[in-house]
Amino acid sequence: MLTSCEGKFSGIIYASLGFIVYAFTNFFYERIREINVIQMLTFAGAVMVCCNVVTCDALKEKIVTKKSGTNRFLITRGILGWFWSFTIYFTITKLPLSDASVLLMVTPACAAILGYIFLKEPFGWYEVFALALCMAGIICIYRPASIFGMSEEENEKYHTSDRIIGVISGISQGICGGFV
């Protein structure tokens, strides 16, 4: 049974690999905007199910557990994970990529705040300062068009109503990602 990672820096390595894969998926999705979000999620979900079945078989793990209440949490996590994925790609379709990327980076902040509210994790001035500093760095790196200005082409491509829906979707994904 695979229950823990090996190595001192394995968590950092896996998180870094995850963000690299995430960046590539956003890049590729930006290139194939002609498919809608549901089509993309259906295909991605089917591929993930196949990969999970193969992985569970290779590791001799069961897909469904008999532990009391565990399946209910797995289903809830799956629904929140689907909504998180949906809002990520929906946000990318409604906003310029720089704006969407900044909004998609609020997930760690939401996770920290939700951890404070529901899990009673510590969240003092040091954490608030660290989150503010991280968000400022993200804004400086991505240079969102809504703050730093956008070209006429982008301005015509993204209507105001789409931008509002995109911002709401981006904030929703942060909250869902915080729960996931």
Q: How far apart are CA 155 and CA 149, in angstroms?
A: 9
Task: Summarize pLDDT for 149-164 with one digit per residue, the tens.
Answer: 777 777 677 777 888 8
**Do residues 155 and 164 make contact, with C-beta atoms less than 8 angstroms apart?**
no
**pLDDT, tens only, 104-140:** 888 888 888 998 999 999 889 998 999 899 889 888 8
For 169, the token pair is 């979707």
pLDDT tens for each residue of 12-66: 787 788 778 777 776 776 666 677 878 877 877 788 788 888 888 888 887 777 7
Structure tokens at 118: 């529901």
Which of the four pLDDT bands, split at 50, 70 and 90, describes residue 1? Answer: very low
Domain boundaries, the chain: 10-179
What's the whole-model pTM score? 0.68
